Amino acid sequence: MKSAVLTGEHYITGDIACAEGAIAAGCRFFGGYPITPATEIAEHMAARLPEIGGTYIQMEDEIAAIATVMGGSWAGKKSMTATSGPGFSLMAENIGYGVCTETPCVIVNVQRGGPSTGLPTQGAQADMMQARWGSHGHYEIIALAPSSPQDMFYQTIEAFNLSETYRVPVLVMSDEIVGHMSERVVIPDASKIVLRSRPKPRGRKDRFKLYEPGPNGVAPMPAAGDGYKVHVTGLTHDERGYPELSVECQEQMMTRIVDKIQNNLDDIIRTERYQLEDADYAIISYGVSSRTSMAAVDMARAQGIKAGLLRLITVWPFPEHLIRELAEQVKGLVTVEINLGQIHLEVQRCAGGKAPAVLVGHPGGTIISPERVLQTLKEAF
């Protein structure tokens, strides 16, 4: 059997780096349905998983694909799917099912221009609010935004680690540009990759409760067949997993689902700061747009403008406290993203009027150039 981790230097796309990151993280089940520009992830997993004892299933549509991912996870496997555009919309209901049943899994969205079929072969970052609120009901979700093929490798591993730790679906919100970009990707030795796995139950099996939270608010999770009582339902349920359609049980279940994320924000939220220490103006961006924003910071500094960048690696939960702190420190905020202002609304909300905030947005199809970011910065402030 081939080694699971392809240690070494590779020249590969972001989509392939994502698939290799998943395998390095221990993913051994993939439920697939092809859609541009995410198809290469499914193709690569279909080729690689049988080599290392994993399973790839090609399903009839995206609804079935994510349904198998839920089942794969409850069978004890780290599980994943990848999609884009309309496929992400079709998966929304089962993402909510995964939240309610506290099913760890990873969903990769290689974003393209929309709405509807839109621009199938061109990039965008316009599913960010759908990532936050795309399923029904009130819930918490984790979403990461990689900015390069190397970042795709590591953020996919991180997505699995967070998913396993907090028993929640984690979204990797990539885009067509990063997904199809070819760059050098360094895959470390397997011994250097930090992995987390879902906590397993201990003690008497007849006293086990499937949703009785542990010290960090997350319940241990057995696999079906381990000998524990495993009753999984999307209905409001008690700590045993049994349906109980009462106001009291709804409040107890929802409190657990929300608090396990909100009480662990310091462990979940990742950001990267660039030239922010003495910045008069803060650019806030994520994914591929953070790369062009970094170039804009360098161009601004060369012209004597003290700009800096806050890169959001974790977009959801949103790093509210960092935006509030920045708004207190700088003369202006600039949000850069390939949509018409989805995350910018969050920036404005958190800034609370303490610093003016402007958007450099684009409806999709291409990157936002550093020149345009710099021009907007100079015109606005």
Beta strands in the chain (DSSP E): 8-13, 27-32, 55-58, 78-83, 105-113, 119-123, 142-144, 169-175, 182-187, 271-274, 281-285, 307-312, 314-316, 332-337, 357-361
What per-residue confidence (pLDDT) applies to 1?
A: 58
Q: How many Å apart are CA 354 and CA 81, to the nearest integer? A: 41
Contact at 8 Å (CB) between 327 and 352?
A: yes
pTM recorded for the entire structure: 0.97
pLDDT tier for residue 106 given thresholds of 50, 70 and 90: very high
For residue range 319-375, what is the model confidence (pLDDT) as tens digits? 999 999 999 999 999 999 999 999 999 999 999 999 999 999 999 999 999 999 999
For residue range 3-31, what is the model confidence (pLDDT) as tens digits? 799 999 999 999 999 999 999 999 999 99
For residue range 59-103, what is the model confidence (pLDDT) as tens digits? 999 999 999 999 999 999 999 999 999 999 999 999 999 999 999
- For the chain, the average pLDDT equals 97
For residue range 26-53, what is the model confidence (pLDDT) as tens digits? 999 999 999 999 999 999 999 999 999 9
Q: How many Å apart are CA 2 and CA 302, to the nearest integer? A: 50
What per-residue confidence (pLDDT) applies to 315?
A: 98
Contact at 8 Å (CB) between 162 and 170?
A: yes
- The pLDDT of residue 2 is above 70: no
Nearest Cα residue to 110 out of 122, 93, 92, 118: 122
The distance from CA 15 to its chain's CA centroid, rounded to whole angstroms, is 14
Strand partners, 58: 32
CA torsion sign for 290, 14, 92, 98 is negative
